[in-house]
Amino acid sequence: AQSVTQPDIHITVSEGASLELRCNYSYGATPYLFWYVQSPGQGLQLLLKYFSGDTLVQGIKGFEAEFKRSQSSFNLRKPSVHWSDAAEYFCAGVHGSGNTGKLIFGQGTTLQVKP
Amino acid sequence: NAGVTQTPKFRILKIGQSMTLQCTQDMNHNYMYWYRQDPGMGLKLIYYSVGAGITDKGEVPNGYNVSRSTTEDFPLRLELAAPSQTSVYFCASSYHGDNQPQHFGDGTRLSIL
C-alpha cells in the first residue's frame, strides 16, 4: 500500500543549528511530494513541492528538500534554524490517484527550537 | 483574497447531535477536500470533490456526508455525532489534481461530549 512515513515524531534543535527532517515514501513509481508546515492553531502552509527534474528543490523560508529515488526519501533541510521555525511539519505524497489529488500524509514531526 | 474559509472555528457537540462544518473558497478551485487531524496520525482524507456535483469517499468517510452544489462551497455534515469524531477538521482546495498544491483553511476544532 502507498504510504508516507516520518520517522521522527519530535525533534529539538538549537537556534542557528542546521535541521533535517526525514520523510520516506512507499509508492510503485515516483510520486508528487510536498512538505507543509503547520503553526499552532493554523492550517497547513506549503513549503515546497517535487514533481520531476532537479532533485534538489527550494522552498519558502529558506527550506530545501532533496529527492532520493534510491532511498525513497524526500528529506527537508534548513542550514540555520530560527525560533519562528518551531511548528509541526508534514510530508505528503500523491501518485496514481487518477488525478484526484488525494494526498497521503506522514504522521508529522514537531520541531522545537531552543534559544 | 480570503482563500479557504472554515466556520465555525470551535464547536462542542453532544453525542447524537448533528452539525455542518462550512467551507468556502474564493480561488475558483475545482478540487476540494476534507481532512481530519488526530494527534500523531497526520491528516486523513474524509471526502473530496473534483467539481460541482461530484463527490467521492476518502480514507475515513464513515459518519460523514458532503455535498458540492457550487464551486465555492463544500460543507461537511455529521449526522449523529460520536466521541470518535472529536478531531480537528481541515478543508482544502486546489485548482486541479495531482500536481497542484492544496490550500488549507485554518481548521475547525470539534469536541463531542
The closest CB to that of A102, out of B41, B48, B104, belongs to B48
Are A52 and A30 contacting, i.e. CB atoms less than 8 angstroms apart? Answer: yes
| B33-82 pLDDT per residue, tens | 999 999 888 899 999 999 999 999 999 999 999 999 999 999 999 989 99
> Which residues, 6+ apart, have CB-to-CB distance to B83 below 8 Å?
B15, B112, B113
Q: Could you tell me if residue B42 is left (phi over 0), alpha (psi between -120 and 50 degrees) or otherwise beta?
A: left
Question: A11 is in which domain, residue-wise?
Answer: 3-114
B4 touches chain A (CB under 8 A): yes
The count of structural domains within chain B is: 1
| A43-97 pLDDT per residue, tens | 999 999 998 888 999 999 999 999 999 999 999 999 999 999 999 999 999 877 7
Whole-angstrom distance, CA of residue B82 vs CA of residue A62: 42
In this prediction, residue B11 has a pLDDT band, given cuts at 50, 70 and 90, of: very high
B72 touches chain A (CB under 8 A): no
Cell reading at A52 = 520531476
Helix (H), strand (E) counts: chain A:
0, 12
Unique residue bearing C-alpha cell 519558502 = A60
- CATH assignment at residue A59: 2.60.40.10
B61 touches chain A (CB under 8 A): no
The count of structural domains within chain A is: 1
Whole-angstrom distance, CA of residue A91 vs CA of residue A33: 7
Q: Do B40 and A100 lie within an 8 Å CB cutoff?
A: no
- Per the document, the length of chain B is 113
Question: B81 is in which domain, residue-wise?
Answer: 4-100+108-112
